[in-house]
């Protein structure tokens, strides 16, 4: 077994492709991953403010294990489950690991606003991992087959985009008030108060909490924490000290940052800074469209 345990290991183990042009749908980012080794590889995923769709396109073994519960102070997390290669990873899911041999897969990151529309009931299971077949039925298998037979990664990106566009046209958008609240969280990098958001949209705090949770998959407080954590994690990965990151990202002190990172990622800030997935993140997701408000 070979574990991708450092940034250098990760970039050496994977060939990564990204779309050559911006997509038609806002709130979507895609990348293709192909392992360079025939060894068994394993890669942990650092939680982030997007829903991920992973589609297995290779002939090797590929699976995902998800423990759920990241940042779920309300106890909404679930136990671990192992699934095949066509999966959807919930918003901010933690304890998620991809693994396999001769892996080739397409990963699509979706803004939670778009995910609500194209994946339907995905927000009902919050931070867990589910099979794409459960959400898309036979359409998932048909799309996977078209992706497998495509001649290039760019063709695959176009096929995936077309599938998302079809689902987007047929789906139901989130409430404008929920979309506004999510956009404010992103703009403020998580440093927002739910009471003020409720006032801005003209809802009670209870109503905003309920509608946001049902359509985004997290409560407003959890979502704001996740956005702030994501910003802090990338600052740590860029080489900034934990003390500086804590001061610049709105944490009370370094101990507060340590507790939040441990809650979300299950490791210390130092371990998050060296997390291999963030190394891939910097290569594959240079333009974070998944963080857009739409």
Task: Show the domains of the chain with their CATH numbers.
Answer: 2-172 (2.60.120), 176-273 (1.10.10.60)
Specify the pLDDT at position 82.
55
Q: How far apart are CA 246 and CA 240, in angstroms?
A: 10
Distances from the Cα of 167 to the Cαs of 107, 122, 197, in angstroms? Answer: 17, 13, 30
Distances from the Cα of 65 to the Cαs of 81, 97, 190, 255, 275, in angstroms? Answer: 6, 5, 28, 30, 17
Backbone φ and ψ for 290, nearest 5 degrees, come out as: -65, -15
The per-residue pLDDT string of the chain (294 residues; one tens digit each, 9 = 90 and over) reads 233 444 445 666 788 899 988 888 889 999 998 888 788 877 778 888 999 898 989 887 787 876 544 444 333 333 444 566 688 888 888 778 888 888 899 999 999 999 999 987 655 556 678 888 888 888 999 999 999 999 899 999 999 999 999 999 999 999 999 999 999 999 999 999 999 999 999 999 999 999 999 999 899 999 999 999 999 999 999 899 999 999 999 999 999 999 999 999 888 999 988 887 777 777 777 644 444 545
Q: What are the tens digits of pLDDT across the range 21-45?
A: 888 888 999 999 888 878 887 777 8
Specify the pLDDT at position 245.
96
Global pTM value: 0.86
Q: How far apart are CA 228 and CA 185, in angstroms?
A: 9
Q: Are 280 and 18 in contact (CB under 8 A)?
A: no
């Amino acid at each position: 077994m070979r574990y991708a345990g450092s940034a250098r290991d990760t970039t050496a183990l994977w060939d990564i492709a990204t779309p050559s042009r911006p997509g038609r749908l806002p709130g979507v980012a895609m990348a293709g991953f192909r392992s360079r080794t025939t060894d068994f590889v394993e890669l942990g995923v650092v939680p982030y403010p997007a829903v991920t769709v992973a589609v297995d396109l290779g002939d090797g073994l590929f699976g995902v294990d998800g423990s759920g519960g990241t940042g779920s102070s309300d106890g909404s997390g679930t136990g671990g489950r192992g699934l095949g290669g066509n999966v959807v990873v919930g918003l901010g899911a933690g304890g998620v690991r991809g693994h396999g041999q001769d892996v080739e897969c397409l990963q699509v990151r979706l803004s939670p606003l778009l995910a609500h529309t194209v994946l339907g009931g995905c927000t009902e299971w919050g931070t867990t991992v589910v099979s794409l077949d459960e959400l898309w039925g036979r359409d998932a298998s048909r799309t996977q087959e078209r992706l497998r037979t495509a001649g290039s990664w760019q063709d695959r990106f176009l096929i995936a985009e077309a599938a998302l566009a079809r689902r987007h046209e047929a789906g139901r958008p989130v409430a404008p008030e929920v979309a506004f609240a999510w956009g404010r969280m992103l703009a403020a990098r998580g440093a927002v108060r739910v009471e003020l958001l409720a006032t801005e949209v003209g809802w009670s705090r209870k109503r905003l909490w309920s509608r946001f949770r049902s359509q985004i998959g997290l409560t407003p407080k959890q979502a704001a924490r996740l956005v702030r954590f994501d910003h802090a994690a990338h600052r740590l990965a860029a080489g900034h000290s934990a003390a500086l990151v804590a001061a610049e990202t709105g944490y009370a002190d370094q101990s507060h940052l340590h507790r939040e990172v441990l809650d979300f990622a299950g490791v210390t800030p130092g371990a998050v800074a060296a997390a291999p997935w963030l190394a891939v993140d910097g290569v594959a997701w240079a333009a974070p469209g998944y963080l857009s408000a739409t």
